[in-house]
Amino acid sequence: MKYSNAKSKLDKLAQKSYSEFYRHPEYEAAVTHWLQSPQYEYPFFPENFLSDCLRLFTRKKESHKNKKLIAEEEVYYQPQLSFGYEDIPFPPPKNPNFTFIDLFAGIGGFRIAFQRLGGKCVFSSEWDKYAQKTYEANFGEVPFGDIREIDEKTIPEHDVLCAGFPCQPFSLAGVSKKNSLGKKHGFEDETQGTLFFNIAKVLECKKPKAFFLENVKNLLRHDKGKTFAVIEKTLKELGYVFNYKIVDAGAWVPQHRERIFLVGFNPDKVNISQKEILIPTTPQKSYRYPELKNLINDNVEGFTIGPGTWETLKRHKQHHAKNGNGFGYSLLTFPIKNGQVTRTISARYHKDGAEILIEQKNNRPRRLTIEEAMQLQGYNPKKFVFPVSKTQAYRQIGNSIAIPAVTDTAKEIAQFIKK
């Protein structure tokens, strides 16, 4: 049975018999998670609905009038919970060799990396409703919402915890903006800064074999190093052996993107020392680097920035130049050289495209197309879909991870946990 058909069946069942559950904000998350992993119980999933789901997707025991029939030949009541996922771009692996969860999942960059290695995602969480739509369109699963509302005890057991937790409280731009508005940042930011401790709660409760956390490099220096010291202290108290590195994704994709990768292992479940925790800063020799000149199209319509935006960007650049700094827009000119990289694409790219503008002859510059922006993060534009507006797609790409860089570290993690 196809994923979409099975989901439709459950929708009808819930509408008819469980109207209260059907109206629950986490209904779709609970149902789509269960469809992919029916062996687990999920948050907010009523027991009576679970039993009816099992009854809906099972084969009833056949009755036999012939009393002489040998018992071993009878067809027993057995679950028929094998769903097909050919109607989604990134189906779960048929024969997974480890499990992981995807916290602060965004649009699923971590999931693509770990699924490529044979991992099965058994739980995902992402609060942004537009990112949830993109996630479901690609993986057939609606992530649960606010992780603060999830009881960590209800999260399934797993081997690896993945989390690209919110970086705004720690990024240079985020801290600067919050300071200008008189707002708190870092761990004092009650909405985002404390979300690391939700990760810690899951680690303490489920004690997975490993974790992989990602954030902006400024996390190391934030609040004169005090923020990262708290993170280190917390992870040590939880008993994890861990290592970290600043990784520039520009070694894998033509985009300068420095991020801190933090990888740890549970020594009770994995025999490993800190020195053995490898976080690659360059790809393997066999890796085929996607040259920027091959990703940028020279004849594109519909992405030219407006005259007001262009004049504003030029004024800003002139202002910064007078103050002796290099802030302002970045313009990509032709011919593009081998090995050339762009600036870091961010979640604000949709506003004016200032980080990466493309020159156009006899015209104002243009933004990257969605397909070009995707490839700077390692997404396949022929496979990955965005069922959202251009604005939301740009935001989601800018908030995501560079998949090839994450994949190489994920390989190192998978190598140890498979042992």
d(CA 188, CA 198) in angstroms, rounded, equals: 15
Buried b (16+ CB within 10 A) or exposed e, 112-125: bbbbebebbbbbbb
Mean pLDDT, 10 residues at a time, the chain of 419 residues: 88 92 94 92 91 79 51 49 84 95 98 98 97 97 95 97 76 46 44 75 97 94 87 95 98 98 97 96 96 94 96 88 77 95 96 96 96 98 98 97 98 91
Question: Which class for 362: exposed (0-12), middle (13-18), buried (19 or more C-beta within 10 A)?
Answer: exposed
Q: Identify the bridge partners of residue 102 per DSSP, sorted by sequence position.
A: 124, 162
Q: What is the pLDDT of residue 204?
A: 96
Q: How many residues does the chain have?
A: 419
Per the structure block, which two tokens stand in for 169? 């409280």
User: What pLDDT digit, counting tens, does each position of 125-149 carry?
Assistant: 999 999 999 999 999 999 999 999 9
How large is the greatest C-alpha to C-alpha distance in the chain, in angstroms? 97
Backbone angles phi, psi at 57, to 5 degrees: -110, 40
Give the three-class secondary structure for 189.
coil
CB atoms within 10 A of CB 358: 23
Q: What is the pLDDT of residue 226?
A: 87
User: What pLDDT digit, counting tens, does each position of 29-81 carry?
Assistant: 999 999 999 889 999 999 899 888 888 887 655 555 555 554 555 444 445 56
Given the residues 53, 162, 167, 205, select the one marked as catalytic.
Answer: 167
Per the structure block, which two tokens stand in for 296? 């940028």
- Hey, what amino acid is at 123? F
* Whether residue 167 lies in the annotated active site: yes
348 within 8 A of 320, measured Cβ to Cβ: no
Q: Identify the bridge partners of residue 242 per DSSP, sorted by sequence position.
A: 264
Question: Which class for 70: exposed (0-12), middle (13-18), buried (19 or more C-beta within 10 A)?
Answer: exposed
